[in-house]
Amino acid sequence: MNPQPLPHDLPLQLPLPEGLVKHLLVLLFLIHILFVNFMLGGQSLAVILEIIGLRRKKYDRLAYEISSTVTVSKSLAVVLGVAPLLAINVAYTTYFYSSTVLVGFAWLMIIIMASAAFLLTYLHKYTWESWGSSQRALHLTVGAAAMVLFLAVAMVFITNINLMVLPAYWPRVAGFLSAVLLPSALLRYFHFILATLAISALFAAGWFGRKGYDLARLPDFTRTEIIALFLRIAFIVTLLQFIIGPSLLLSLPVHGHSLAVWLLILTGATIAGVMAWIIYRELGRAPAALGRSYLVMLALLTFTALFMAYGRHYYRERAVNPHRQAMMAKTEAFMWDAKAAQTRARMGMTREVYKSSGEKEFKANCAACHAENTTIVGPPLTEVRGLYAGNPQNLIAWARAPQVKRGGAPMPSFNHLPEKVLQEIAAWILEGK
């Protein structure tokens, strides 16, 4: 897939101050993703426990109780997803739109997959008793199909979100599968899945272990058994996050890293570590005391989510900033060209006349990032002439396959331009005219 020239932005006013829109995006997304976690994690736990219930009947009943929460979580996840979707479209228009187009077909399939998953969760829930043991395999298949579809929807969403912070990779993306193989995409996905299981298990420990829950619905379980079961799941999954989390952080392109990003994420990880220690300590308590620290766990989970969310946000800001700066320069050049064209039209003047085709092509393809004496995104032309004086072919070779030497945003490849155009641009640059 050939790379495209750097686009200019749409110079439109935001409905709210940009900072406020982005803070709302973080907070609204956290609320939305909470119920997504309950939905996906709940369906996964229900299927796993139903499998265990094939041999140990009491777990089948517990699986049914969990499945009853999934349909409620699904509705809230959908409703609460509207606001962050609008916010991300407003705050990161170019990036979200571009990544969505690049994964295009898979993104459209979300509608079909999510709709099918929702219908299957209802079928899974309301046929639990009627299908009985004679059709248990079919019933389990329905639940597993819903889980797989939810997992597939999550994969598309996460791949899209990962792609939007990697504009340097857009030229090489040829669809959803190639986007999945980009840095951090799979690790980000596994990180999310583990989070859904941890949060859902912690929720289940509180929901089914609370004093107000009618244990007659689960006659083969004691309240402490239920709490211990789900706390163990939350503990094990949280420990796995300490493997996946650092791997994910280190897999992200370095130009998005900063002291603030690391401090936020490490603070969140530290709080998560404290939560894991409290869960471990809780599991060692006497049955009568089990669950006393539940509110503390919830508080620690909340702070973990906040710090991680803002760490993720600040990384996204730094990751797209070089591209955003280049796009702003392109936008400014576009606006000046538009005003100049309007002025020429009013005065009856002809269009700007370039001294050479090299100048024309340079201003069309390179001027957004390179100026004569100052650094915009790439080095100034005076520095380029010093590096490639008398070697236009080396300059062309670099333009076709650029590398990162100074840090910051990598230069996009201009391999899509014909050889003649590249020769004209190189000649114009090196001549210093």
Task: Produce one character per residue of 358-388: b if its CB has 16 or more CB atoms within 10 Å, e if not.
Answer: bbbbbbebbebbbbeeeebbbbebeebeeeb
Quick one: 257 exposed, middle or buried, by C-beta within 10 A (0-12, 13-18, 19+)?
A: middle
* CA atoms within a 13 Å half-sphere pointing along the CA-CB vector of 413: 14
Q: Output the six-digit token pair for 407.
A: 């840090």
Report whether 42 contacts 73 (CB < 8 A). yes
Domains in the chain, CATH or no CATH each:
18-327 (1.20.1630), 354-431 (1.10.760.10)
Q: Output the six-digit token pair for 397.
A: 């070779």
Length of the chain: 433
d(CA 416, CA 5): 9
- Single-letter amino acid code for the residue at 186: L
d(CA 62, CA 75): 22
pLDDT of residue 3: 43
- Single-letter amino acid code for the residue at 62: L
Residues 6+ apart with CB under 8 A from 123: 142
DSSP state of 80: H
pLDDT of residue 135: 87
Of 366, 333, 373, residue with least CA distance to 352: 333
DSSP state of 370: B
Residue 250: count other Cβ atoms within 10 Å of its Cβ.
11
Quick one: 139 exposed, middle or buried, by C-beta within 10 A (0-12, 13-18, 19+)?
A: buried
pTM for the model stands at 0.77
pLDDT of residue 2: 38
Of 164, 160, 170, residue with least CA distance to 4: 170
Place of tokens 């320069």: 329
d(CA 281, CA 261): 30
pLDDT tens-place values along the chain, 433 residues long: 334 456 666 667 778 888 899 999 999 999 999 999 999 999 999 999 999 998 888 999 999 999 988 888 888 888 999 999 999 988 898 899 999 999 989 999 999 999 999 999 999 999 998 887 778 889 999 999 999 999 999 999 999 999 999 988 888 888 899 999 988 999 999 999 999 999 999 999 999 988 888 888 898 899 899 999 999 999 999 999 999 999 999 999 888 899 999 999 999 999 999 999 999 999 988 887 788 899 999 999 999 999 999 999 999 999 998 888 878 777 777 777 677 667 667 766 555 566 778 888 887 778 777 888 877 777 888 888 888 888 889 888 988 888 766 655 567 778 778 888 888 888 888 886 5
pLDDT of residue 6: 65
Report whether 362 contacts 429 (CB < 8 A). yes
Report whether 428 contacts 362 (CB < 8 A). yes
pLDDT of residue 1: 35
Q: Output the six-digit token pair for 247.
A: 């791997």
Residues 6+ apart with CB under 8 A from 405: none
pLDDT of residue 410: 67
d(CA 208, CA 214): 8
The phi and psi torsions of 58 (rounded to 5 degrees) equal -65, -30
